[in-house]
Chain A
């Protein structure tokens, strides 16, 4: 690294390096004697040990300010996002009706995704709640733990439940089901005590034409208030996220259709310009038929 102006022969440079690496006269290895190396290693051991301890300590102190159950702040989560299943790489669901491999992985994913919604599991773990109102479980001074969750039965998804469905959620017939879910946000009272539902439209006019008809499960794309509020994964162990399934009945084949679904709820704004997924979700649907 030391740039020296004097021109040196190659041999001299090598010689100098050799002497730098091991200097037999002063017994210096890389410019330091053994004792010096020992000192420096010891110093750094102590120094970095101390620094690690300091880091650990401050992190520990910091974590004391954070509760295990609820986050300290939720600044960014005022508006829950919407997301679809099956989850694909670029949020585009492409179905080649004749090519089972093209949708098989979607089906596998959906099977796995919907498994916890099986009625048997729901009945075993969760409560039957009164629809149309929040299922609040306040702590009232005593830690109410774990909190109960409301049932969302797979059968509520009707034609999209995939139970005993030879069409594989409609993928084999070109009438695919897309599942829409709203992001979980702790202590969020979605809908502000009013009913809410999900609606889907084609993004542009031609998309609307190409989209054709669709049906939603539960009817109207309703999301019931009883699934709210969410108390966090530590409290709300068996919480089941409500879903809305959309079955597209006659999508114009071989055309890419831009679909946008949004939740209509009193306290969920869906017009955030920057966050394209706040209260809404946009995806592409393409059904290829030969």
Chain B
């Protein structure tokens, strides 16, 4: 972890010099943007923010500060003072977002979903017993047991769901606690390391490069300190810090370091002025909790499905209650029927199955670097229709890399892939030899020691981003750069600074015959060119004439237009007579020539896209997902990257492009012609919501550049107004409102701040955009597979329900008992329905549009009808045949069944005659009834095997999908059979379970119907494939 972080830091030292200026000018606007963004929302937020702005510690002198906080900058606080303050102000940590108390979460599981129905069932059971008891004190306790079993089912599934959720939350908790933060503090005149949580206001802390600033601190003394404020302000450039008061705004002034930002280099000493939630970050984080969390799409879908099933259960229950009463059944019997109907209708195990399925996918996604915090977010990602992605680090590799070279009047392309291995440009030219020498020598960056075994591109470098890029570039091509530098001993050096805009060094050459010194220089290309009078072409010096200067400018513009940072390189061999070996160079007086140099070439660098990203963007596009780039970077760079990864496709143009091509003014261009748009934060700020809506609908390819992270929230809301499911990536603290607001917030695992991770639903462990796309794929797959699972589970409900309905109307011996139903729902059916989660996609799920939130339901009419009225009824028929077979072969032929119920169930009738004139005692009948239950149960089980197999696909033939590709299905089938065998032969003697032994042949009675189900479904799928869009397709495809 530490190593990883270091790598990132080494890259973040980017000195984007040319961009920096505009950035600073823009800064103020950004903060205004922050205010604007929150102002309309909630009033107290505004006030909080204003209070924060009132902070004036940066204006105070050190003396005043010491007085204000009762401290001393040399000795620090005394430990008693510190303890007192700690007790008064609380620990220096952000209050975690308010969590629902565990007990509430638990109770929610107890009453959510079908639980209410089952509770009603249980209570009805107890009421039924109460009625029975009042009529006859010795009535059997069956109903009490059933009530208890139902209650137990609710409680157990509730506990299970709660456990699953708690487990996934725990992953997060451990993730958060990986690195406990320490702070170096002066207390009682001694430097001690204490946990950052124990810091109090007035503490004197020391900060070194690489540290996270442990609280809001007023800097007292600073040595070359730069901080990364990107998580707070979105500025990706390192900000220099000093101890002087430079600006009225506390956010702008250089003498304040903010909590949770990182000190990149240098050291500083500071006084803690705010801790915990009172820090600026803390205040922003608390804003995030004010943004409501939307209900996830899958939660809505499941609710919809629960409503359907509950609706069916309740209406059938009430209907048959009325029928039963009007058929002169006693109210007590009618209540018992009602219980049976509810139990038969409710897929008790389904919600637990869904949870397991989601967590399986979550695990699978975690393996692919998507850590899902909220289980339901798994599917949300699949229904995403817009992804608002960051650029740096997500789309790009987050490291400057040499992309192009220009020498010998030619532009060469360098390999920018992750390993740089494939550099194909022409290295034979003499110009390259000189250029490579300048690149190697005029560079202060160095590899950290002890990394010989690490691949070059992964090595940690001390130095800024451009120099790092150059160092790695030359190391890859030339080999050991440090050795070359040693051989070419450096005698003098002028480091880069913003006034000079160049860097220069003078070396002894490694050629023993050449006693001349070599002066090498790099810097802003126009500055370098100014200093040159000659140019090297094919290794030969030529005078720099107008043509070559023109060529230079064309190349420079072209590379700049690619959004790349261009550097110019030149050199000069100092004449040996003027500068003998003993000559001492003085960099202050510059006693050496810095003009009339020889221009060698240009090198341009860019933070290149990750190599997997273009592919991922294409996938998104074919998957109907709009990718919007939101970046704080310069529009040109943003556009270049967008083009190179395909966010702006090769043939689409922005309004500006068209204007340029047609040589007309931007205003004259028909906006409909442009597919792409690059919008800056400034433009966005002036837009009304309507204009933003228009922008989002009219352009399919949009890049937002120069935006502050706060504007992300505006963009997200705009997208959501288009009814889109929006995924947002973010890493900074003030991304957190947008992350919260988004349907799925994706925080960066490496670069992300804790606040972002807290607000997000998902964490991208490798910060890679491509991982989001794999996540989308998994999310879509799980939606399909959940459909299959639910279809599978719902089917047998009809087979469980029909017996009750027919029992009530026809009065035959009860074909299946309530307990037996529970054994199907919570026994044989569980593993198979989970197994469907392992099913592979039927076709390329990334080739279809994201599902429409309101139209593509998880459980639609077709699914319900096909499951209930087609396959479900077949199952019922098959199971009834099994039931009738048992009865007929034991003596009760089907004809005798009608209206036998009352006598059959009367325990005082012990001589009931069967079809052959034999007489049966009550218990003998009861046992036969249990055999009937078991046969019916086995009948359903056998047909559920067929149901499981047909549910593997919704459109393709099973043979296209492969019967054996998903091995878990077979585990599921085996589990069904084993559970059924155990229940029948193992527990057949336990009367309470009402299972009995069954003759082997009865296990096969329903097989013809199982085969029928399979054949029927194959025919259905065949017609769907043959006649897409037909009446059949519309009605039979779920």
Contacts and interface: CB of A to CB of B under 8 A. Distances in A.
B333 interface: no
Contacts of B885: 62
Nearest to A187: B918
Given A184-B918, A186-B918, A81 B908 contact: no
B89 to A, nearest CB: 43
B307 A59 contact: no
A51 B874 contact: yes
Contacts of A75: 890
B566 to A, nearest CB: 53
A36 interface: yes
A11 B874 CA distance: 42
A70 B1031 CA distance: 52
Interface string B247-289: 0000000000000000000000000000000000000000000
Contacts of B94: none
A277 B912 CA distance: 12
B873 A65 contact: no
B916 A70 contact: yes
B919 A80 contact: yes
A232 interface: yes
A90 B919 contact: no
A63 B888 contact: yes
A174 to B, nearest CB: 24
B880 interface: yes
B889 A274 contact: no
A74 interface: yes
B927 A76 contact: yes
Given A70-B916, A90-B908, A185-B918, A47 B890 contact: no
Nearest to B869: A44
A81 B927 CA distance: 14
Contact of A281 (B889, B893, B910, B1008): B910
A33 to B, nearest CB: 10
A66 interface: yes
Given A73-B890, A183-B911, A274 B991 contact: yes
Contact of B307 (A3, A77, A181): A3
A89 interface: yes
B870 A47 contact: yes
A166 interface: no
Given A72-B889, A72-B890, A75-B890, A59 B921 contact: no
A93 interface: no
A58 B919 contact: no
Interface in A43-78: 43-44, 47-48, 51, 54-55, 58-59, 62-63, 65-66, 69-77
A58 B1012 CA distance: 12
Nearest to A274: B923
Q: Which of A40, A51, A76, A274 has the most CB of B within 10 A?
A: A76
Contact of B884 (A43, A62, A71, A234): A62
B881 interface: yes
A275 B916 contact: no
A232 B924 contact: no
B908 A91 contact: yes
Interface in A217-265: 230, 232-234, 236, 239
A66 B889 contact: yes
A264 to B, nearest CB: 18
B449 interface: no
B914 A71 contact: yes
Determine the main DSSP class of B at the interface with A. Answer: helix
Nearest to A62: B885
Contacts of A58: 881, 1008-1009
B40 interface: no
B777 to A, nearest CB: 28
A81 B911 contact: yes
Interface in A22-39: 36, 39
Contact of A81 (B311, B874, B924): B924
Interface string A252-290: 000000000000000000001011111001000000000
Contacts of B303: 3
B917 A230 contact: yes
Interface residues of B, number: 45
Contact of A71 (B916, B921, B1031): B916
B298 to A, nearest CB: 15
Nearest to A2: B304
B918 to A, nearest CB: 5
B148 interface: no
B877 A81 contact: no
Given A51-B877, A63-B888, A275 B923 contact: yes
Contacts of B106: none
A222 B846 CA distance: 85
B928 interface: yes
Contacts of B890: 71-76
A81 B914 CA distance: 14
A143 interface: no
A183 B921 contact: yes
A83 interface: yes
Given A73-B889, A274-B923, A277-B922, A62 B917 contact: no
Contacts of B884: 59, 62
A36 B1035 CA distance: 10
A277 B1031 contact: no
A1 interface: yes
B920 interface: yes
Contact of A62 (B881, B913, B924, B999): B881
Contacts of B311: 1
B1012 A62 contact: no
Contacts of B869: 44
Nearest to A65: B889
Nearest to B888: A66
A71 B923 CA distance: 19
Contacts of A274: 923, 991
A152 B137 CA distance: 42
Contacts of A71: 889-891, 914-916, 918
Interface in A107-133: none
A232 B1035 contact: no
Given A3-B307, A81-B921, A76 B889 contact: no
A116 to B, nearest CB: 14
Contacts of A73: 889-891, 999
Contact of B928 (A1, A76, A233): A76
Nearest to B894: A59
B968 interface: no
Contacts of A3: 303-304, 307
A275 B918 contact: no
A232 B920 contact: no
Contacts of B1012: 54
Contacts of A239: 917
The 10 A-B pairs at the shortest CB distance, nearest first, are namely A233-B917, A81-B921, A183-B919, A275-B923, A72-B889, A277-B921, A71-B891, A83-B911, A277-B910, A76-B924
Interface of B: 303-304, 307-308, 311, 869-870, 873-874, 877, 880-881, 884-885, 888-891, 893-894, 908, 910-911, 913-924, 927-928, 991, 999, 1005, 1008-1009, 1012, 1031, 1035
Given A40-B1035, A55-B881, A71-B916, 16 more contacts: A3-B304, A54-B1009, A63-B893, A70-B916, A72-B888, A73-B891, A76-B890, A76-B928, A81-B910, A81-B924, A83-B911, A183-B911, A183-B921, A185-B918, A234-B916, A275-B922
Interface of A: 1-3, 36, 39-40, 43-44, 47-48, 51, 54-55, 58-59, 62-63, 65-66, 69-77, 80-83, 89-91, 181, 183-186, 230, 232-234, 236, 239, 272, 274-278, 281
30 contacts: A40-B1035, A44-B869, A47-B870, A54-B877, A55-B880, A59-B884, A62-B1005, A66-B893, A69-B916, A70-B916, A71-B891, A71-B916, A72-B890, A74-B890, A74-B918, A76-B920, A77-B891, A81-B911, A81-B924, A83-B910, A83-B911, A89-B908, A186-B916, A186-B918, A230-B917, A232-B916, A233-B916, A233-B917, A275-B923, A281-B910
